Chains A and B, each alone.
Chain A
């Protein structure tokens, strides 16, 4: 028989909990194709009205930053405190700012 050890590909599942919110990653599952992944994601991750929309994405299609380069990779934003509103001193008596 031809049942491969690797089995069905892995999919990552994203749920939009309700209108106005982003899709959020909730977990993963195995499915033989995209359609089955969507149906299985519905059965597995939205049994109690947890979502109004679902995305499924093959895990091997995701490009991610690596944890090892975490510090250098995100370093450029680390020293730019002037990007934040609290960097600026404004007198207390200036309204609405």
Chain B
């Protein structure tokens, strides 16, 4: 209505009151608004970690780029890896609106001071892993990310809208790849089952520790950064995935998996949390390799970045030069 914006404008009290009122009204906080230091710090940590995950996430599948079994699969995989890079960049851009520098975040990643999702510390042993990553890992990521589209911080929420649109392709290509393998030979079907066996539990761990062990959840939910607890999202993922596994014809490696009529959801076993702790603290199968490769790529690319700066400086000088040159009239 006519005066809607004005009516929504919060009575000007302290900046903190205004912040709280914006959050309570389900509006978005924008970059130059006042925000509590802890809100800013939480977002920087979460968005940076998310961006790093996208960037590191190119590696497990990148492993198969040169060995994809057909041109079609290779083109799809390339497009997917390119999307991951893009997602990383959307997220770094969102983080930068909070006053951090991308170069600084990269530095923190390659020096091990900031984390990325533990899932990417597992190896991709067969081509079926490419399919399972699309289906389970990207599926879990979608469960996590869809609610982030309504995150209270505007730039993060907008980046997530973009990412979620693209993520759906990732999951579907993975599932289609697995369906193709399942229509193949016994060996191919065993390969799929083996990949599912290895990725199922790490995928469940992607949602983070159980609610009882997640002390920051309550605050993030109060700030509307998070919309659901880790356990809620994990449950949602399991409920979505079980029928997909049945359709595919694979067995999820959890003997405790059973339908709970009473609450209308699947009961499932407890992930091995000590494994998650180990992987987070650097003892996963591929932690060192992932960070080393990222560091090498960054360092090997230094000359390109320098050359681009030198080229830009040269071009700028050339463009400035004609104005300094004397005009024909002056020469005469």
Contact = CB atoms under 8 A, between A and B. Distances in A.
Interface residues on B, range: 35 or more
A94 to B, nearest CB: 21
Contacts of A1: 302, 306
Contact of B305 (A7, A44, A84): A7
A32 B159 contact: no
Contacts of A32: 305, 308-309, 311-312
A24 to B, nearest CB: 11
Interface in B290-332: 302, 305-306, 308-309, 311-312, 315-316
Interface residues of A, number: 32
21 contacts: A1-B302, A3-B305, A5-B103, A5-B104, A6-B103, A7-B101, A7-B305, A26-B162, A27-B90, A27-B94, A32-B311, A33-B308, A33-B315, A36-B312, A44-B90, A47-B79, A67-B33, A70-B9, A78-B3, A81-B3, A86-B2
Interface in A36-57: 36, 43-44, 47-48
A40 B266 CA distance: 45
Given A36-B308, A67-B33, A10 B96 contact: yes
B194 interface: no
Interface of B: 1-3, 6, 9, 12, 30, 32-34, 79, 82-83, 86, 89-90, 93-94, 96-97, 101-104, 155, 158-159, 162, 166, 302, 305-306, 308-309, 311-312, 315-316
A3 to B, nearest CB: 6
Contacts of A29: 89, 93
